[in-house]
A and B are shown apart, each in its own frame.
Chain A
Amino acid sequence: MNGGAAPRAEAAIETHSLRREFGRNVAVDDLSLSVGRGEVFGFLGPNGAGKTTSLKLLLGLVEPSAGSGRVLGAPLGEPRARARIGFLPEHFRFHDCLTARELLRVHGRLYGIRGAQLAARADVLLERVHLADAADRPLRTYSKGMLQRAGLAQALLNEPELVFLDEPTSGLDPLGRLLVRDIIKDLRDNGTAVFLNSHLLGEVEATCDRVAFVKRGRVLMDLPLRELRTQAACEAELKIDPLDSGTLEGLAAFACAVERLDGRVLVRVEGEHVLPEIARWLIGRGIALYEMRCRRKTLEEWFVEVMGEDQRPG
């Protein structure tokens, strides 16, 4: 389907040097990004990096001090474009005297849905987020995770083209997290773009097509996860015998780097297509191959690397 890589007529999100200061505090410094239609985009960064503020800029909840952007083709803050957008805030709260069903009714009407259609849509969503049983209880009786799921349902009312989720799983139990993962997968299958703020890297790795790392309001790196999964460089650990300098030299012809560590060799290759070639070469030379394991850098390792680099003085 829409892998995100294929650019359509207009991106879901497009920003140019967005900036927002609060007094002397720069929350978003120079944000330029582009998110394709139907792409699941992860926005990662340490606390206070400006993730929530960036999202509010895109939704028109906060005005930029400088820069510009378009969301679903409309300039930032255009109310009509918001009819095609869903949003789950970081700390979802609503009038706690309302029930979840009433919450959906009010917001559905703001989206312009009404009557039987709205009632049906609310039923489907309440079922989807496992709140059907609690649907007619006031929100004040909800636990944190239930409230967050009610907020999630609210964000999906209008079958949006673009959904902003600000740490959607922060209050959820493991099953709730799987539910969110599932919902994001469904959204992607339906061609909905998702903008996801999260600190749970495993979750991001499992759901996102692309991630950006932000720090102090700047994008430090843009990582096409989906492509990385299939094409990028990886590391292979080999257990071979004999392990002499001649073999190491031979391996060096295939790899970008070869490293020896207690009885094993670590080779870094530019892509997994090199691995069968290495195996053929080893066997051709009569070298015994006991084990060959390929591993990629995890998102966590990327995160530490990207964020750590910037921490050095200067």
Chain B
Amino acid sequence: MVRATLIIAHLTFMEARRRRIVLAALLGGLAFLLVYAAAVVAIERSLTAGPIDEVMHRVQLQFLTLAGLYVANFLTVAAAILLPVDTLSGEIDSGVMQTLASKPVRRSEILLGKWLTYWLMSGAYLVLLAGGCVLVMRFAAGFEQQNLQRALPLMLLGATVVLTVSLAGGVRLKTITNGMAAFAFYGLAFIGGWVEQIGAIVRNDGAQRIGTAISLLSPPDAMWRRAAYELQPQSLRDLGPVQPFSVASVPSTAMTVWTIGFVLVVLAFALVQFRRRPL
């Protein structure tokens, strides 16, 4: 069971590397970090040019970090959608899958092997981008981000949701259709998040409930908002909805548990569908 899964995982990684996917992701990530570092240096210089209010300065640096992590989260989500988007549909169409699936290996092992590789790659990408942002802030501005150990797993969980949805879609859908569906799924999460936020700000229970319902259908954005909440010091949370990363409606721990269940259900659905798929 484990052996075949690992062989498939290795094959998947070898293919991603040969197709320069790994290289492209690394270069893209580094480019982002360079731009981010340049921006941080410039901003920090202008902030410290005149007399500074220490408290205000810390708030500004916290915003800057959150902005970087926000982009890191988005890029990781995009990678998690794109990495597996054509792996099943493409290999089924080209006939590669026939050769694999006629070997003494279960279809579930093929699917899990691919999932594992893409999950590890998404995780590594997140660590690279988010870690890069945090290091930039430490060395360019002397700012220490707290609570990363709570936020990063939540961000990875959000990416895991879209990764699993994108992989599952490939069992039946063509590559383009699957990509559009996966991005629409993430867009839904986004809308849900805003509806919930705005509902909370204007104290409209109905809107907040609708937003929460949408987040239940598509939880990745809720994971980011929970992560953003964890990343902020209490003083910043208390400022209320005047700042861009304010979390007016904090996703609960139950939401996190729900999201883990969501991943498992989508994965199970993909396994069942793939087992029955004519190749």
Contact = CB atoms under 8 A, between A and B. Distances in A.
A264 interface: no
A97 B102 contact: no
Interface in A85-102: 85, 87, 89-95, 97-98, 102
B279 A93 contact: no
Interface in A73-90: 79-83, 85, 87, 89-90
A89 B98 contact: yes
Interface residues on A, range: 20 to 34
Given A79-B106, A85-B102, A110-B105, A56 B278 contact: yes
B96 A93 contact: yes
Interface size bucket, B side? 20 to 34
Contacts of B4: 110
A111 B276 CA distance: 23
Lowest 3 CB-CB distances: which A-B pairs, in order?
A97-B18, A83-B104, A110-B103
Interface in B101-133: 101-106
A98 B18 contact: yes
A151 interface: yes
A60 B275 CA distance: 10
A79 B96 contact: no
Given A93-B94, A112-B104, A154 B99 contact: yes
Nearest to B93: A93
A13 interface: no
A52 B211 CA distance: 50
Which of B95, B98, B105, B276: most chain A Cβ within 10 A?
Answer: B98
B279 A97 contact: no
Contacts of B106: 79
Given A62-B278, A106-B7, A79 B104 contact: yes
Nearest to B6: A109
Interface of B: 4, 7, 11, 14-15, 18-19, 94-96, 98-106, 276, 278-279
B7 A110 contact: yes
Contacts of A107: 99, 103
Interface of A: 22, 56, 59-63, 79-83, 85, 87, 89-95, 97-98, 102, 106-107, 109-112, 151, 154
Contacts of A89: 95, 98-99, 102
Contact of B99 (A56, A94, A97, A102): A94
Contacts of B18: 95, 97-98
Given A79-B104, A111-B104, A112-B104, A92 B99 contact: yes
17 contacts: A56-B278, A60-B102, A61-B279, A62-B278, A63-B278, A79-B105, A80-B104, A82-B103, A83-B104, A87-B102, A95-B96, A102-B14, A106-B7, A107-B103, A109-B7, A110-B7, A110-B103
A61 B7 contact: no
Contact of A61 (B11, B15, B102): B102
The residue in B95, B96, B98, B103 that gathers the most chain A C-beta atoms within 10 A of its C-beta is B103
Nearest to A22: B278
Contacts of B103: 82, 107, 110-111
B278 A61 contact: yes
Contact of B15 (A92, A97, A109): A97
A256 to B, nearest CB: 47
Most chain B C-beta atoms within 10 Å of own C-beta, residue among A56, A83, A87, A110 = A110
Contact of A91 (B15, B19, B95, B100): B95
B19 A97 contact: yes
A154 B99 CA distance: 9
B99 A61 contact: no
Nearest to B108: A79
Given A89-B99, A93-B99, A110-B105, 9 more contacts: A56-B278, A61-B102, A61-B279, A63-B276, A89-B102, A102-B14, A106-B7, A106-B11, A111-B104
Nearest to B276: A63
Contact of B95 (A82, A83, A92, A109): A92
Contacts of B98: 56, 61, 87, 89
B253 to A, nearest CB: 40
B233 to A, nearest CB: 48
B100 to A, nearest CB: 8
Nearest to B278: A62
Nearest to A138: B18
B96 A56 contact: no
A57 to B, nearest CB: 10
Contacts of A93: 94-96, 99
Nearest to A103: B99
Contacts of B7: 106, 109-110
A306 B249 CA distance: 75
Contact of A94 (B14, B19, B96): B96
Nearest to B7: A109
A110 B104 contact: yes
